[in-house]
Chain A
Amino acid sequence: MIYLYDGSFDGFLTVIYEHYYSEKATAIYRKKDYQIGLIDESKTIEADSVKSRKVHEALINKFSTETLNNIQYTFLSCDRNKDTYLLHYIEYGFRIGKRLDFDHTHEVVLPVHQLGKRVSFEVHRFLGLLRFQEVGSVLYSAIEPDNDIITLMVSHFADRLKTERFIIHDKKRKQAVIYADGHWYLSDFHIKEELQISEKEKYLNALWKGYFKQIAIKERENLRLQQQFVPKKYRRNIIEFT
Chain B
Amino acid sequence: MIENALDKLKILADAAKYDVSCASSGADKKNNGKIGNSIAAGICHAWSTDGRCISLLKILLTNYCVYDCSYCINRVSNDVQRASFTPEEVADLTIQFYRRNYIEGLFLSSAIEKNPNHTMEKIYRTLYLLREEHGFSGYIHVKTIPGADPMLIHKTGQLADRMSVNIELPSTKSLKLLAPQKSVKKLMEPMEQINNGIIQYKEEKRHFIHLPKFVPAGQSTQMIIGATKDTDLSIIHTTEKLYNSFNLKRVYFSAYVPVNTGSNLPSLATEPPLKREHRLYQADWLLRFYHFNAEELLDPSQPNFDMEFDPKMTWAFRNMETFPVEINKAPYEMLLRVPGIGMTSARRIIRQRQIANISYDHLNKIGIVMKRAKFFITCNGKFHGQLDMNPEGIKEKLAPKPKFEQLSIFS
Is A21 part of the contact surface with B, judged by Cβ < 8 Å?
no
Interface pair B31/A160, CB less than 8 Å apart: yes
Chain B residues with CB under 8 Å of A242's CB are none
Contact partner of A220 (CB less than 8 A), chosen from B34, B35, B257, is: B257
Is A33 part of the contact surface with B, judged by Cβ < 8 Å?
no
Is A50 part of the contact surface with B, judged by Cβ < 8 Å?
no
Interface pair B274/A132, CB less than 8 Å apart: no
Interface pair B35/A162, CB less than 8 Å apart: yes
Least CB distance from B124 to A in Å reads: 24
Chain A residues with CB under 8 Å of B366's CB are 104-105
Please encode chain B, from 338 to 371, with 1 for each CB lying within 8 Å of some chain A CB and 0 for all others.
0000000000100110111010001001100000
User: DSSP majority for the A interface?
Assistant: helix
Is B9 part of the contact surface with A, judged by Cβ < 8 Å?
yes
How far is it, in angstroms, between the C-alpha of A187 and the C-alpha of B381 when the chains are bound?
Answer: 57
Interface pair A226/B49, CB less than 8 Å apart: yes
How far is it, in angstroms, between the C-alpha of A157 and the C-alpha of B36 when the chains are bound?
Answer: 9
Chain B residues with CB under 8 Å of A160's CB are 31, 35-37, 138
Contact partner of B50 (CB less than 8 A), chosen from A101, A156, A220, A228, is: A220
How far is it, in angstroms, between the C-alpha of A226 and the C-alpha of B351 when the chains are bound?
Answer: 35
In the complex where A163-B35, A210-B9, A217-B18 touch, is A226 in contact with B97 (Cβ < 8 A)?
no
* Residue from A131, A134, A159, A230 whose CB has the most chain B CB atoms within 10 Å: A159
In the complex where A104-B365, A220-B255, A220-B272 touch, is A132 in contact with B46 (Cβ < 8 A)?
no
How far is it, in angstroms, between the C-alpha of A105 and the C-alpha of B345 when the chains are bound?
Answer: 11
Chain A residues with CB under 8 Å of B352's CB are 102-105
Is B187 part of the contact surface with A, judged by Cβ < 8 Å?
no
Number of interface residues of B (CB under 8 A): 56
Chain A residues with CB under 8 Å of B356's CB are 103
How far is it, in angstroms, between the C-alpha of A207 and the C-alpha of B99 when the chains are bound?
Answer: 14
Interface pair B93/A207, CB less than 8 Å apart: yes
Least CB distance from B356 to A in Å reads: 8
A103 and chain B: residue at smallest CB distance: B355
Chain B residues with CB under 8 Å of A229's CB are 44, 47, 51, 53
Is A223 part of the contact surface with B, judged by Cβ < 8 Å?
yes
Interface pair A128/B43, CB less than 8 Å apart: yes
| 22 A–B pairs (Cβ distance < 8 Å), ordered by A | A104-B352, A128-B46, A128-B55, A133-B100, A134-B99, A157-B101, A159-B30, A161-B35, A162-B34, A163-B34, A207-B96, A207-B97, A214-B9, A215-B14, A216-B17, A216-B48, A216-B50, A217-B257, A218-B49, A222-B50, A223-B51, A226-B47
A-B residue pairs, 8 tightest by C-beta:
A225-B51, A222-B51, A216-B48, A220-B50, A102-B351, A229-B47, A105-B362, A105-B365
